[in-house]
Structure 1
Amino acid sequence: MSHPLRSPRLAAVLLLLAAACGILLANSPAADAVFRVQHFALGIPHTPFDLDVGEWIADGLLAVFFFTVAVELQFELTSGQLRSARNALLPAIAAAGGVAAPIVVYLLIAAPAGWGQGWPVPTATDIAFALGVLAVVGRGLPARVRVFLLALAILDDIIGIVFIAVLFAHDVSFGMLLLALVLIVVFGVLSRTLGGRFGRSIVAVMIVVAVAAWAVMLASGVHATIAGVLLGLAVSQRPGMRAAHVLEPWVNGVVLPLFALSAALVAIPSAGTLSPVFWGIALALPVGKLIGIAGTAAIAQKLLRLAPADRIHFADLIAAGTLGGIGFTVSLLLANLAFLADPDIRDQAVLGVLCGSLAALAVAAVVVSWRARAHRRQQA
Structure 2
Amino acid sequence: MTLLRSARFPAILLLVAAALGLALANSAAADTAFAIQHAHLGLPGTPFDLSVGHWISDGLLAVFFFVVAVELQFELTAGELRSARRAVQPAIAALGGVIVPIAVYVAIAGPSGLTAGWPVSTATDIAFALGILAVFGRGLPPTVRVFLLALAILDDIVGILFIAVLFAHGVNLWLLGLALVATVAFGVVSRMLGGPRFRPLVVLLVVLALCTWALVLASGVHATIAGVLLGLAVAQQPGVRARHLLEPWVNGIVLPLFALSAALVAIPAVGDGLSPVFWGILVALPVGKLVGITGAGWLAQRLLGSAGQPRLAVGDLVAAGALGGVGFTVSLLLAALAFADSAVLRDEAILGVLAGSIVSLVVAAVVVSLRARHHRRAATAG
Measured against the shorter chain, the TM-score band is over 0.9
Counterpart CA distance in 2 for 1:162 and 1:339 is: 18
Match of 2:23 in 1: 24
Match of 1:302 in 2: 302
Q: Which stretch of the first structure deviates more once superposed, 150-159 or 43-52?
A: 43-52
Deviation of the 1:127 alpha carbon: 0.1
RMSD over equivalenced CA pairs, Å = 1.1
Deviations 1:110-165 (A, max 9, x none): 11111101100000000000010011111111111111110000000000000000
Q: Which stretch of the first structure deviates more once superposed, 267-276 or 83-92?
A: 267-276
Indicate yes or no: 2:70 matched with 1:59.
no
User: In the alignment, residue 366 of structure 1 is paired with which amino acid?
Assistant: V
Match of 2:323 in 1: 323
- Aligned pairs (5 A) from 1:220-235: 220-235=219-234
Counterpart CA distance in 2 for 1:271 and 1:168 is: 28
Q: Which secondary structure state, in structure 1, belongs to the residue aligned with residue 267 of structure 2?
A: coil
TM-score normalised by the chain length of structure 1: 0.98
Q: Is the 8 A contact 2:171 2:221 kept in 1?
A: yes
Counterpart CA distance in 2 for 1:196 and 1:110 is: 58
Q: Is the 8 A contact 2:86 2:308 kept in 1?
A: no
Indicate yes or no: 2:130 matched with 1:131.
yes
Identity percentage of aligned residues: 68
The alpha-carbon distance between structure 1 residues 161 and 308, as it changes in their structure 2 partners (threshold 3 A), is closer
Deviation of the 1:272 alpha carbon: 4.5
Match of 1:288 in 2: 288
Deviation of the 1:271 alpha carbon: 4.8
| Structure 2 stretches lacking a partner, 5+ long | none
Indicate yes or no: 2:208 matched with 1:173.
no
Counterpart CA distance in 2 for 1:371 and 1:3 is: 28
Match of 2:189 in 1: 190
Deviation of the 1:232 alpha carbon: 0.3
Deviations 1:30-77 (A, max 9, x none): 100110000001032223222100000000000000000000000000
Counterpart CA distance in 2 for 1:43 and 1:322 is: 42
Match of 2:360 in 1: 360
Counterpart CA distance in 1 for 2:162 and 2:239 is: 24
Counterpart CA distance in 2 for 1:344 and 1:54 is: 17
Deviation of the 1:4 alpha carbon: 1.2
Match of 1:12 in 2: 11
Match of 2:162 in 1: 163
Counterpart CA distance in 2 for 1:361 and 1:215 is: 36
Deviation of the 1:291 alpha carbon: 0.4
Counterpart CA distance in 1 for 2:305 and 2:93 is: 15
- Aligned pairs (5 A) from 1:4-153: 4-153=3-152
Q: Which secondary structure state, in structure 1, belongs to the residue aligned with residue 333 of structure 2?
A: helix
The alpha-carbon distance between structure 1 residues 161 and 309, as it changes in their structure 2 partners (threshold 3 A), is closer
The alpha-carbon distance between structure 1 residues 373 and 308, as it changes in their structure 2 partners (threshold 3 A), is farther
Q: Is the 8 A contact 2:290 2:325 kept in 1?
A: yes
Match of 2:262 in 1: 263
Q: Which secondary structure state, in structure 1, belongs to the residue aligned with residue 229 of structure 2?
A: helix
The alpha-carbon distance between structure 1 residues 376 and 337, as it changes in their structure 2 partners (threshold 3 A), is same
User: In the alignment, residue 215 of structure 1 is paired with which amino acid?
Assistant: A
Deviation of the 1:299 alpha carbon: 1.2
Counterpart CA distance in 2 for 1:43 and 1:222 is: 20
| Structure 1 stretches lacking a partner, 5+ long | none
Deviation of the 1:306 alpha carbon: 2.9
User: In the alignment, residue 285 of structure 1 is paired with which amino acid?
Assistant: L
Deviations 1:88-131 (A, max 9, x none): 00000000000000000000111111110110000000000001
Deviation of the 1:304 alpha carbon: 1.1
The alpha-carbon distance between structure 1 residues 308 and 366, as it changes in their structure 2 partners (threshold 3 A), is farther
TM-score normalised by the chain length of structure 2: 0.98
Deviation of the 1:307 alpha carbon: 7.2
Counterpart CA distance in 2 for 1:74 and 1:307 is: 22
Q: Which secondary structure state, in structure 2, belongs to the residue aligned with residue 336 of structure 1?
A: helix
Deviations 1:261-313 (A, max 9, x none): 00000011365411100000011000000000001111111111337962110
Match of 2:213 in 1: 214
Q: Which secondary structure state, in structure 2, belongs to the residue aligned with residue 310 of structure 1?
A: coil
Q: Which secondary structure state, in structure 1, belongs to the residue aligned with residue 320 of structure 2?
A: helix
For this pair of structures, how many residues does the alignment match? 379
